[in-house]
Amino acid sequence: MRRKNVLRAILSAGLLMTAVSAGLTDAAADGAPTSPAVATTPQAPASDSLLTAMQHDFGLTRSEAVDRLAAETAARQVERSAQRAAGDSYGGSWFDATSGKLVVALTDAGLRKAVESTGAQVRLVKHSERELNAAMQRVNALQAPAGVAGWRVDPKSNSVTVDVLAQHQDDNDVRSFVTRALKAGPVTVARTDQAPRTLAAGTVGGDPYYTGNVRCSIGFSVYGGFVTAGHCAQPGAAVSGWDHTYIGNFQGSSFPDNDYAWVNVGSGWWTVPVVLGWGTVSDQLVRGSAEAPIGASICRSGSTSHWHCGTVLAKNETVNYSQGAVHQMTKTNVCAEPGDSGGSFISGDQAQGVTSGGWGNCSSGGETWFQPINEILSRYGFTLHTA
């Protein structure tokens, strides 16, 4: 019974009790043996099991995994100071795993030394992030057909990249959309073979929360409840846990346009700052929500496919689901499956977002998008529950 052992681990760490991931709520009632969530030393980059998972998923040695986590932590800190140094010439940034450095796109060569003095590498580009965001907004204003998978600001190509489904690229409505999108500013077009879909599922066994006959996954604890995906239910929907006991109700929900929601927690349930590792890694404590750069490693926990890791591929992407477009999403190459919706994306010990949708599965691979956590916290005025 995993739930009892997670509870013991939390109590031994001296934590307050409040709820986190779909897995944790389930875990707190179930009871298989588990080890403490992460090393208690604040300076520790990660638990031993997380390092083991990174070695497996990224093909790294243990020392390389430790070095990568340290480099990504440094890159998060550099990103803020580099953006200030670049000012209006900032064109976006990404983490380069080969060099272990943050790369900053810059439109003004005269600011190169100032930006490099922060510890970042510089790539000179034509368009600033402000220009790219403006183009993104103009594309967002267009009505996209089903043959368009989505679009995003891509600092590496210094453009807004529109993904078109290869099997529909010659459709008249797709060609018309692309023609209008190209007039929006610096836009490039790419082909993809996969269409995104949301990841809610019908009622099945596992570590869930349930709304009617839909199963989704808990994202992160906030004071007063937890956040999850908006497509899982509408405001007012009752939520039950792994054992079908009542937890609370959807208090706010937005989908499409956004894909986030929050559920109040009560009736004997509580919240804790933990993401379930599902036995693949130790349960992970949540210590903040510093945003990981493009190129950084990231892991996901969900009630269907459990724990998987990958890399941040893109930010500020619009994903065109069949139900409508969702904006300002982050794209990863982490796999996911139906029922994982709403689950936790975490980088190191920093919360990143809640699972929205994707394509593929965890047998053959795929890509998954998440709604960034800081936008959700800002929208609802929440404080993330941290260790």
CB neighbours of 172 closer than 8 A, spacing ≥ 6?
A: none
Instruction: Give which of 329, 334, 272, 330 is closest to 301, Cα–Cα.
Output: 334
Q: What is the rounded CA–CA span in Å between residue 40 and residue 194?
A: 42
Active-site residue flag, 341 = yes
DSSP string over 201-229: EES-SSS-EEETTEEE---EEETTEEEE-
Half-sphere exposure of 199 (CA within 13 A, CB side): 35
Listed residue (144, 150, 157) closest to 185, CA to CA = 157
340 is known as an active-site residue: no
Widest Cα–Cα separation across the chain = 62
Q: Which candidate in 96, 259, 283, 340 is catalytic?
A: 259
Give the active site residue among 21, 128, 341, 344.
341
Question: 21, 355, 53, 313: which is closest to 161 by C-alpha?
Answer: 313
Say which of 128, 159, 217, 231 is annotated catalytic.
Answer: 231
Q: How far apart are CA 243 and CA 1, in angstroms?
A: 12
Q: How far apart, in whole angstroms, are the C-alpha atoms of residue 255 and residue 231?
A: 5
Q: Is 259 a catalytic residue?
A: yes
d(CA 39, CA 41): 6
Residues 355 and 336 sit within 8 Å (Cβ to Cβ): yes
User: Among all residues, which ones are annotated catalytic?
Assistant: 231, 259, 341
